[in-house]
């Protein structure tokens, strides 16, 4: 069900960064919340919005034209817990250690803040090393898991006001970290102003998010959903934060989420000089034509081809009476299933290890979500791997499925 005001917003399309008029280059159609796993009693009142990606050629920012309100997305029953994956636990351990070695070196009694600290998967390493830290997390259920792991957490959205409160109570931060969160926040001006207050003059703001270059190259359109209001490139980060008083001084590609980028920023006045990597990656983006609208029109065509291929493959399996299930009820799968109109007639159920998702139904298409044990109990003929970004870990864990003749299908 649409809310009247939100339908109205569809016709006021402005770049969220520079206010330039923007035109979506594609419409994925009516979409539910990517993490809105629900019960049958909620089907009738399920919330939908139009998922329309757009590219602003003025400031080079890839964005969705309309994003549902944050309070709708990040609730007290937010079902995404970073620590469910072994690879993610390892990734965040390394992230914490690299931050400690490279950016906290020589600092006396440093203070680390994380925006969107989820279940504490990153900050727990600072807690274990007795480094002063504070997580900011709006979803109370994930924040409680973080606290149970010894991570000091405030259940709040980050804002200028909160930055002032933290500075008064705890002092300025040496480093602010964030992973898979900045791309969720439409109002980056508020974030940047908060960071200007919170960070020491020589402080670092380090964040990582899914990378536009990877998404375009792999046609991984499932990165596009309500929470990801932006998919960043270096050029976009430089343009966005440059106008808000920050300087991009380093960037490092990351393997997470099917291809991410870590960005290191400092205040404009800082003496830290950009690493040569920044120029190199900016040049690579230019070669990939990430600044041109034609790239996104080609991406749209690739999405349509990908949809056709997936639907044809699933229909063929159905025709031959094969059992097909989905593996991992990821937020990304919501875009694929709704865009391709794939429901329970093509996919019997989706197995997932997250207890909060089990017994519920997938957003929009209402495919049952079942525990992982249901997959093991009776292997299907085909499993569609929605957590394709965890492929290595999952293929290793499920070797037996292939041994007995089971097949994997990558949805993109």
Please report, as ranges, the residues that interact with ligand TMP according to CB under 6 A.
84-85, 328-332, 352-354, 357, 387, 389-390, 393-394
- Between 329 and 365, name the residue whose CB sits nearer to ligand TMP: 329
Least separation in angstroms between residue 330's CB and ligand TMP is 4
Cβ-proximal residue to ligand TMP, closest one: 328
- Between 142 and 354, name the residue whose CB sits nearer to ligand TMP: 354
Alpha carbons 276 and 274: distance in angstroms, whole number:
6
Alpha carbons 263 and 286: distance in angstroms, whole number:
18
- Between 24 and 68, name the residue whose CB sits nearer to ligand TMP: 68
Least separation in angstroms between residue 84's CB and ligand TMP is 4
Least separation in angstroms between residue 77's CB and ligand TMP is 14
Alpha carbons 276 and 45: distance in angstroms, whole number:
52
Alpha carbons 185 and 188: distance in angstroms, whole number:
6
Least separation in angstroms between residue 258's CB and ligand TMP is 8
- Between 180 and 235, name the residue whose CB sits nearer to ligand TMP: 180
What is the DSSP track for 329-377? --HHHHHHHHHTT--TTT---EE-S-TTTTTSB-TTT--BEE-HHHHHH
- Between 148 and 376, name the residue whose CB sits nearer to ligand TMP: 376
- Between 247 and 360, name the residue whose CB sits nearer to ligand TMP: 360
Least separation in angstroms between residue 119's CB and ligand TMP is 12
Alpha carbons 152 and 362: distance in angstroms, whole number:
33
Place of tokens 């997250």: 354
- Burial label for 386, CB within 10 Å (0-12, 13-18, 19+), is buried
Least separation in angstroms between residue 121's CB and ligand TMP is 11
- Between 118 and 239, name the residue whose CB sits nearer to ligand TMP: 118
Alpha carbons 212 and 210: distance in angstroms, whole number:
7
- Between 317 and 357, name the residue whose CB sits nearer to ligand TMP: 357
Least separation in angstroms between residue 372's CB and ligand TMP is 6
Distance of CA 290 to the CA centre of its chain: 20
Least separation in angstroms between residue 89's CB and ligand TMP is 10
Least separation in angstroms between residue 79's CB and ligand TMP is 7
- Contacts of residue 341, defined as CB under 8 A and 6 or more positions apart, other chains included, come to 311, 365
- Contacts of residue 351, defined as CB under 8 A and 6 or more positions apart, other chains included, come to 325, 326, 327, 328, 329, 369, 370, 371, 372, 374, 375
Q: Where are the beta strands (DSSP E) in 91-232?
A: 111-115, 132-136, 153-154, 173-179, 199-210, 230-231
Alpha carbons 300 and 378: distance in angstroms, whole number:
37
Alpha carbons 256 and 261: distance in angstroms, whole number:
9
- Between 15 and 183, name the residue whose CB sits nearer to ligand TMP: 183
């Amino acid at each position: 069900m649409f809310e009247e005001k939100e339908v109205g917003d569809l016709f006021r399309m402005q770049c969220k960064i520079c206010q330039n008029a923007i035109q979506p280059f594609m419409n994925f159609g009516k979409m539910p919340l990517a993490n809105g796993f629900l019960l049958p009693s909620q089907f009738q009142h399920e919330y939908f919005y139009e998922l329309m990606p757009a590219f602003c050629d003025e400031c080079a920012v890839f964005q969705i034209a309309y994003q549902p309100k944050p309070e709708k997305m990040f609730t007290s029953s937010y079902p995404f817990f970073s620590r469910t994956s072994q690879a993610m636990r390892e990734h965040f351990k390394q992230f914490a250690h690299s931050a400690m070695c490279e950016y906290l070196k020589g600092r006396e009694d440093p203070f680390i803040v994380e925006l969107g600290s989820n279940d504490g998967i990153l900050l727990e390493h600072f807690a274990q090393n007795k480094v002063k830290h504070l997580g900011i997390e709006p979803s109370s259920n994930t924040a409680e898991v973080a606290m149970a792991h010894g991570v000091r957490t405030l259940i709040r959205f980050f804002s200028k006001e909160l930055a002032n409160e933290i500075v008064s109570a705890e002092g300025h931060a040496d480093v602010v970290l964030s992973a898979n969160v900045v791309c969720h926040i439409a109002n980056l001006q508020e974030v940047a102003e908060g960071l200007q207050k919170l960070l020491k003059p020589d402080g670092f703001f380090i964040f990582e998010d899914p990378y536009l270059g990877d998404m375009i190259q792999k046609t991984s359109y499932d990165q596009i959903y309500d929470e990801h209001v932006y998919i960043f490139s270096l050029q976009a980060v430089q343009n966005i934060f440059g106008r808000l008083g920050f300087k991009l001084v380093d960037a490092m590609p990351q393997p997470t989420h099917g291809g991410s980028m870590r960005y290191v920023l400092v205040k404009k006045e800082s003496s830290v000089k950009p690493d040569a990597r920044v120029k190199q990656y900016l040049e690579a983006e230019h070669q990939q034509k990430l600044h041109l609208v034609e790239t996104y029109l080609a991406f749209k065509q690739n999405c349509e081809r990908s949809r056709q291929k997936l639907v044809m493959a699933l229909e063929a399996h159905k025709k031959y009476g094969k059992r097909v299930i989905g593996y991992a009820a990821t937020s990304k799968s919501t875009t694929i299933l709704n865009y391709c109109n794939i429901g329970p007639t093509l996919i019997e159920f989706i197995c997932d290890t997250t207890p909060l998702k089990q017994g519920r139904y997938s957003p929009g298409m209402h495919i049952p979500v079942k525990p992982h044990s249901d997959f093991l109990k009776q292997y299907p003929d085909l499993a569609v791997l929605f957590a394709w970004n965890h492929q290595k870990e999952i293929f290793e864990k499920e070797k037996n499925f292939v041994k007995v003749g089971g097949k994997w299908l990558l949805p993109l």
